[in-house]
A and B are shown apart, each in its own frame.
Chain A
Amino acid sequence: DAGVIQSPRHEVTEMGQEVTLRCKPISGHNSLFWYRQTMMRGLELLIYFNNNVPIDDSGMPEDRFSAKMPNASFSTLKIQPSEPRDSAVYFCASSLDGGARNIQYFGAGTRLSVL
């Protein structure tokens, strides 16, 4: 049974370039979360979708970040333009219905380096 699938696993780009991270949640899960992990700030929730609708994007750091979920099996996180301080590991997670007691299943992450 496939878990959460993220691509690419590694991304190296230059400052100012557009970056798109992709996520395929577990089939049947209707909630999706994007996180960012850095040494300084730990794990931060960026945005949460339920039934493809963004519910809480209060963690999105600034307008350069945007996320979409066009259907139940695909989501993207876009950074435009990218900056060196965006370098981090970005995780996507999905859960059955997003409830507070439900397990979040994480993908392997995308390690982003902005030079």
Chain B
Amino acid sequence: AQSVTQLGSHVSVSEGALVLLRCNYSSSVPPYLFWYVQYPNQGLQLLLKYTTGATLVKGINGFEAEFKKSETSFHLTKPSAHMSDAAEYFCAVSASTDSWGKFQFGAGTQVVVTP
């Protein structure tokens, strides 16, 4: 079974500062990992995903994440926060051995960007 833990339900960051959202996973098989963003009153949108290959993954809007197997982590970063980054962010994991993609989502991290 897979599970995801997102550290910090709320993160406040100043505009222009580093954004760091933490995600740790548990999986008995090689995982596939995803970060989604949810803006108010909208559905979830994919930011980036890791399946195989390069462990540093770049996504949309300047976000990137690094898969660290030894630390069972997939933290999301952005060098410089913008006001438009205010949203809720979800980390998700699926099992690479599954025949279909049952995603296990984390509880989410709400990001507030202050001027």
Binding site for B on A (CB under 8 A): 4, 31, 42-43, 45, 48, 50, 55-56, 91, 93, 95, 98-109
Q: How many residues of B contact A (CB 8 A)?
A: 26
Contact A42 B107 (CB under 8 A): yes
Q: Which residues on the A side are within 8 Å of B96 (C-beta)?
A: 100-101
Chain B binding surface, main DSSP class? loop
Q: Report the nearest A residue to B34, measured CB to CB.
A: A103
Q: Report the nearest A residue to B49, measured CB to CB.
A: A103
Q: Report the nearest A residue to B94, measured CB to CB.
A: A100
Q: Which residues on the B side are within 8 Å of A103 (C-beta)?
A: 34, 46, 49
Contact A99 B100 (CB under 8 A): yes
Binding site for A on B (CB under 8 A): 32, 34, 36, 41-46, 49, 51, 90, 94-103, 105-108
Contact A99 B101 (CB under 8 A): yes
- In the complex, A42 Cα to B51 Cα: how many Å? 24
> Looking at the complex, which one of A31, A99, A101, A108 makes contact with B43 (CB distance below 8 Å)?
A108
Q: Which residues on the A side are within 8 Å of B44 (C-beta)?
A: 91, 93, 104, 106
Q: Which residues on the B side are within 8 Å of A48 (C-beta)?
A: 100, 102
Contact A102 B101 (CB under 8 A): yes
> Looking at the complex, which one of A31, A42, A105, A107 makes contact with B105 (CB distance below 8 Å)?
A42
- In the complex, A55 Cα to B44 Cα: how many Å? 23
> Looking at the complex, which one of A91, A104, A105 makes contact with B101 (CB distance below 8 Å)?
A104
Contact A56 B102 (CB under 8 A): yes
Contact A31 B100 (CB under 8 A): yes
- In the complex, A90 Cα to B78 Cα: how many Å? 30
Q: Which residues on the B side are within 8 Å of A107 (C-beta)?
A: 43
Q: Which residues on the B side are within 8 Å of A31 (C-beta)?
A: 100-101
Contact B101 A95 (CB under 8 A): yes
Contact B42 A108 (CB under 8 A): yes
